[in-house]
């Protein structure tokens, strides 16, 4: 049974210690620490429950953040594809309507000119062909510039999505690091309190810390696997046949 101490003839028993003459005595499974008896098993059990609760909450938080961000990425990607398809369709209709009207007008003028000419002039025919070729070239150039703008916009949006994913990974890494540091600090405090306990109790503490670290490692491994699967699924969605602009 652990005993207290006497300093300069004064008892230093805590409020929870039993006083017997000039000696402070603590009950079994308790130690005399900081002037009072402390139930070591109870203290360790409470700290262990707090750590397990913190680890569980961290795992739930990581899962929620991953699911939420994955849904946001899917919605943003779907919105991007829909927007590009809508712009491409409307621009194509606009170009078709505009240039078909001009081509029809030129063809009408060509037919009128040919009907008025008594002889076919090679020069006039060449001018007509040149005009038609110029219009076709302008149409192709405009379509090419629009396609380049679509590609640039898609690249900017893709870079933003990658940046958001990296930021999320960094925040999750910081949370894991802070959690590990908190667990380490708690382990040090528990170790200081357990220095006066028996060898059997130290073995139980080390075993519990090992199980707890395995849980943390397993949670981190599961999260990394989920993140890898999410990245693979996103890449498959981007390269699916029939998509436009990406």
Q: For residue 96, what pLDDT is reported?
A: 66
Token digits of residue 117 = 């000419």
- What is the Cα 123 distance to its own chain's centre? 67
Tell me what the pLDDT averaged over the chain comes to: 70
Beta-ladder partners of 38: 31
The average pLDDT across 28-52 equals: 67
Domain ranges of the chain: 1-34, 35-238
At 13, the pLDDT band (50, 70, 90 cuts) reads very low
Top pLDDT among 157 and 7 is at 157
Give percent of the chain above pLDDT 70: 57
Top pLDDT among 66 and 10 is at 66
The helix or strand, by DSSP H or E, that contains position 178, with its residue range, turns out to be helix 122-193
CA-wise closest residue to 57 among 145, 150, 179: 179
Three-class SS state of 197: coil
> How far apart, in whole angstroms, are the C-alpha atoms of residue 2 and residue 201?
15
Beta strands 36-39 and 30-33: pairing type? antiparallel
Assess contact for 18 and 178: CB atoms under 8 A.
Answer: no
Q: For residue 197, what pLDDT is reported?
A: 61
Q: For residue 14, what pLDDT is reported?
A: 44
Q: For residue 45, what pLDDT is reported?
A: 74
Q: For residue 180, what pLDDT is reported?
A: 74
Distances (CA, A) of 240 to 54, 85, 170: 41, 14, 29
Q: For residue 7, what pLDDT is reported?
A: 41
**Chain segment 129-179, per-residue pLDDT in tens:** 777 778 778 877 887 887 888 888 878 888 888 888 888 888 877 877 777
At 119, the pLDDT band (50, 70, 90 cuts) reads low
pLDDT at 15 over 70: no
**Chain segment 186-213, per-residue pLDDT in tens:** 777 766 665 666 666 667 777 787 888 8
Give percent of the chain above pLDDT 90: 0
Residue 194 carries which DSSP code? Answer: G
Assess contact for 12 and 35: CB atoms under 8 A.
Answer: yes
pLDDT at 73 over 80: no
Of 9-13, 95-99, 106-110, 136-140, which gets the smallest average pLDDT?
A: 9-13
Distances (CA, A) of 165 to 39, 112, 160, 218, 227: 47, 63, 9, 22, 10
Three-class SS state of 241: coil
Residue 118 carries which DSSP code? Answer: S
């Amino acid at each position: 049974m652990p005993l207290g101490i006497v300093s300069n003839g004064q008892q230093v028993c805590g409020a929870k210690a039993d006083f017997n003459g000039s000696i402070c005595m603590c009950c079994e499974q308790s130690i005399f620490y900081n002037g009072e008896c402390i139930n070591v098993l109870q203290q360790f059990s409470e700290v262990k429950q707090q750590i397990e609760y913190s680890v569980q909450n961290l795992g739930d938080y990581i899962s929620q953040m991953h699911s939420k961000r994955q849904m946001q990425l899917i919605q943003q990607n779907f919105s991007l594809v829909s927007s590009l398809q809508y712009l491409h369709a409307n621009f194509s209709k606009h170009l078709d309507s505009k240039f078909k009207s001009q081509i029809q007008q030129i063809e009408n003028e060509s037919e009128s000119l040919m009907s008025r000419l008594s002889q076919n002039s090679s020069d006039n025919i060449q001018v007509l062909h040149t005009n038609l070729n110029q219009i076709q070239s302008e149409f192709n150039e405009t379509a090419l510039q629009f396609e380049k703008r679509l590609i640039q916009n898609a690249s900017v949006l893709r870079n933003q999505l990658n940046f958001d994913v990296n930021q999320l990974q960094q925040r999750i890494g910081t949370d894991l690091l802070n959690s590990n540091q908190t667990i380490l600090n708690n382990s040090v405090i528990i170790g200081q309190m357990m220095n006066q306990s028996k060898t059997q109790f130290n073995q139980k503490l080390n075993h519990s810390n090992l199980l707890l670290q395995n849980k943390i490692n397993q949670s981190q491994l599961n999260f990394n696997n989920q993140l890898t699967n999410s990245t693979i699924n996103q890449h498959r969605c981007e390269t699916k046949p029939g998509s436009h602009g990406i």
